[in-house]
Amino acid sequence: MNPIGPVLTLLLQLLTVLGLLLVADRWLHRHLQGVMFLLTGDEELALWLYAIVLFPGVALHELSHALVARLLGVKIGRMKLLPSRASKRVQLGFVAIQETDFLRASIIGAAPMVLGSAAVILIGHFVFGTPEIIAAFSSGDWAPGFRAFVEVLRAPDVWLWVYLVFAIVNTMLPSRSDAHAWPALAMVGAVVAGLLIYAGLEAVVYEGAGSFLTVAVQWVVLLGASTLLVDLPVFAGIFLMQKLLETLKGVRLA
C-alpha cells in the first residue's frame, strides 16, 4: 500500500484545521477589542483590557521563545509582556532574540505552539480527564462520555481552567516573525528528500515521512479541533455581547 495517500489526507486535515484556527484567531482579536471599545469608549483602555484577558497566553508565548532560545544557546534581549501599537498593528508582547541559523530560528519560532499544546494537553489530562472522555466517545459509549463531561464541569475552579485553556490556545499560533525561517527549513527538507529519492531510497522517505506526519499531524488536528470547540461558546458570548452593546449605544463596529 502506498503511504502517500494517507499522508496527503492528513496534510489536508492539517491545512483545514490550521485555516479554521487562523480565521478564528483573527475573528477573536478583532471582535474582543471591539467589545472592549464598546464597553469603555476609549481605544487605549480597550487595548489594555483586551491584553489582560489574553495575558496568561501571551506570557507563555513569549517565555516559550525565551526558554527555547536559551536552551539552544541563542542570546535573548529585552522582553515585553505589555501591549503596544506598531502602526496599525497591535503587539501584545515580544522578546528580542539574536539572529541565528534557520534551524534554530525555526525551532524557537515553533516553541509557543509546542509548549502551549503541551500545557493544554496537561490541563486536559489532569483537570478535565480528557483521555477518559475521548475513550468513551471513541468507543461509542455516548452516555458515559456525556456524564463524564458534565462531571468535569462540576469540578472546583473548572471555569478558571477553561479560561486558561482559552487564553493559551488563542495566543500560541505563530506570528509572521515566528515563522520567518520555516520556508528555508522546508526547502532543505525537500532537497534532502529529493536526494534520497534520487538515490533510490524512496522507502526511507515514504516510511519516515509517513510515520512522523501521521503521529504529529494527528496530534495537531486533535488539538486544533479541541481548540475550536473551546472557542465556540466563548465566541458566541462575545458576538452576543457586541450586538447588545451596539444596540444599547446605537453604534455599529466596522
The C-alpha atoms of residue 58 and residue 188 are separated, in whole angstroms, by 31
The C-alpha atoms of residue 69 and residue 100 are separated, in whole angstroms, by 10
Note the pTM of the prediction, 2 decimals: 0.78
Which range has the worst mean pLDDT, 85-99, 199-213, 228-242? 199-213
**In the chain, what are the domain boundaries?**
24-246
The residues, any chain, with a CB within 8 Å of residue 251's CB and separated by 6 or more, are 38
For the stretch 32-51, pLDDT in tens is 888 998 999 888 898 899 99
- HSE, side-chain direction, 13 A CA sphere, residue 177: 11
Residue 59: pLDDT band with limits 50, 70, 90: very high
How high is the pLDDT of residue 14?
75
Decide which of 197 and 175 is more confident: 175
Determine whether 170 is exposed, middle or buried from the number of CB atoms within 10 Å of its CB (0-12, 13-18, 19+). Answer: buried
| pLDDT over threshold 80, residue 137 | no
Which range has the worst mean pLDDT, 64-73, 117-126, 213-222, 244-253? 213-222
| pLDDT over threshold 80, residue 122 | yes
The C-alpha atoms of residue 227 and residue 182 are separated, in whole angstroms, by 23
Residue 187: pLDDT band with limits 50, 70, 90: low
C-alpha cell at 201: 531510497
How high is the pLDDT of residue 209?
57
- Do residues 35 and 237 make contact, with C-beta atoms less than 8 angstroms apart? no
Per-residue pLDDT, averaged over 223-234, amounts to 78
The C-alpha atoms of residue 220 and residue 206 are separated, in whole angstroms, by 20
How high is the pLDDT of residue 131?
61
